[in-house]
Amino acid sequence: MLCGCDGSGGTSLPGGKQANQAFLSGYDAARLRAVESIPLAIIAVEGDLIVVRRGVAGERHPVIDSVYTELKEVSHVILGVWLSVWDDDAEAAKMRSAVWLDRVDAVEAGLAKSAIPPVQRARQDRLLEAARDLIGMAAEGDGVTSDRLEEWSRSVKSDLMLNVFEAARAQLLSVNAGVRSIAGTMTPSERSSFIVVVCGVHQARQGNIEMQYFSKLLGPRGVEHERRLVFAESVFALDGAMRLLGAHQVDRSISDSFFGDTFRMQHDLLQDAASRILPELDMPDLRSPSGP
């Protein structure tokens, strides 16, 4: 979308920079007004579902519980040890992996007071013992070859993925409990119109667990064109999520007013022009001169 450009390149018209800055300031102000016009939004950020009414953040509902956190910590031991030996330099891998022994011992000792259900404890013990095995391999003279590392990784995959499954279950139960509580405070109008913003990282955007939950909750029409569900990529704080929510609403109004299409600004404003211009460009041939 064109609104994302800051106009910093090239020469400027007399008064152009001032006009551009005034536009950006006006856009920021419009975003604030837009958020204040939304009766109810749910922001999934910082491990909470945060209820925002008319631009004011209210109650928070945690969606990360102790079971989720502790399963993640055990799983991160496995990945941390893997990373420590992932190196062609056997001596460096030996030194890095050795420091994990105390960490493995500490996590194992903590399992006795863990929120992880007893039925899942044996799996944690197997994973931590596997971590020690890999540290032991790294301590050997030749270190850990790529083949041995892959074999080890495949050996822990089943237990690791069971941890992932149970962590997902714990999170979804917490999300559902939070949404049930929030829904109990909604008016009929809010139930049919509330907007959700889910914050997350780029790598986990595809299949994000909270996006899956709210996609099912809101149904195809609510998800289509981000009508009621928005993903805030690489946004990790409430203020950033609210800025995005405001921009989402302002851009819809711009789209309606200028194009008669509510969703036009969800695409780069230069998109249509580019599709016409690109076929005419004499683009460089990147094939090797000796290739086909």
Bridge partners of 51, per DSSP, are 42
In a domain, 282, yes or no: no
In a domain, 176, yes or no: yes
The whole-angstrom separation of Cα 146 and Cα 136 is 15
128 and 207 housed in the same domain: no
> Of 166, 182, 213, which marks where a domain is finished?
166
Please give the C-alpha separations between residue 113 and each of 118, 130, 159, in angstroms, as whole numbers.
Answer: 10, 21, 21
pLDDT of residue 216: 96
50 and 192 housed in the same domain: yes
The whole-angstrom separation of Cα 166 and Cα 171 is 9
Give the pair of three-digit tokens for residue 180. Answer: 């049930």
From first to last of its 292 residues, what are the pLDDT tens digits of the chain? 445 545 566 788 888 889 999 989 999 999 999 999 999 999 999 999 999 999 999 999 999 999 999 999 999 999 999 999 998 789 999 999 999 999 999 999 999 999 999 999 999 999 999 999 999 999 987 789 999 999 999 999 999 999 999 999 999 999 999 999 999 999 999 999 999 999 998 876 778 999 999 999 999 999 888 889 999 999 999 999 999 999 999 998 888 888 887 788 777 888 888 889 999 999 998 987 765 5
- pLDDT tens readout for residues 112-122: 999 999 999 99
Q: Would you give the end-to-end CA distance of the chain in angstroms?
A: 38
pLDDT of residue 225: 81
In a domain, 17, yes or no: no
Q: Amino acid identity of 41? A: A
In a domain, 10, yes or no: no
In a domain, 149, yes or no: yes
70 and 162 housed in the same domain: yes
45 and 184 housed in the same domain: yes
77 and 115 housed in the same domain: yes
81 and 119 housed in the same domain: yes
126 and 105 housed in the same domain: yes
Q: Helices marked H in 5-145 — which ranges? A: 16-36, 66-85, 90-98, 100-110, 121-139
223 and 147 housed in the same domain: no
Q: For the domain that residue 210 is a member of, what is the CATH number?
A: 3.30.420
> Of 166, 184, 212, which marks where a domain is finished?
166
Sheet holding 41-45, edge to edge: 56-62, 48-53, 41-45, 195-200, 229-233
pLDDT of residue 264: 81
233 and 152 housed in the same domain: no
- pLDDT tens readout for residues 79-108: 999 999 998 789 999 999 999 999 999 999
pLDDT of residue 82: 97
In a domain, 290, yes or no: no
Number of domains in the chain: 2
160 and 209 housed in the same domain: no
193 and 161 housed in the same domain: no
186 and 233 housed in the same domain: yes
Give the pair of three-digit tokens for residue 163. Answer: 């941890």
pLDDT of residue 269: 81
Structural contact between residues 41 and 229, judged by C-beta atoms closer than 8 angstroms? no
Give the pair of three-digit tokens for residue 153. Answer: 């990784």
**Domain range for residue 155?**
66-166
In a domain, 9, yes or no: no
> Of 166, 196, 224, which marks where a domain is finished?
166
In a domain, 14, yes or no: no
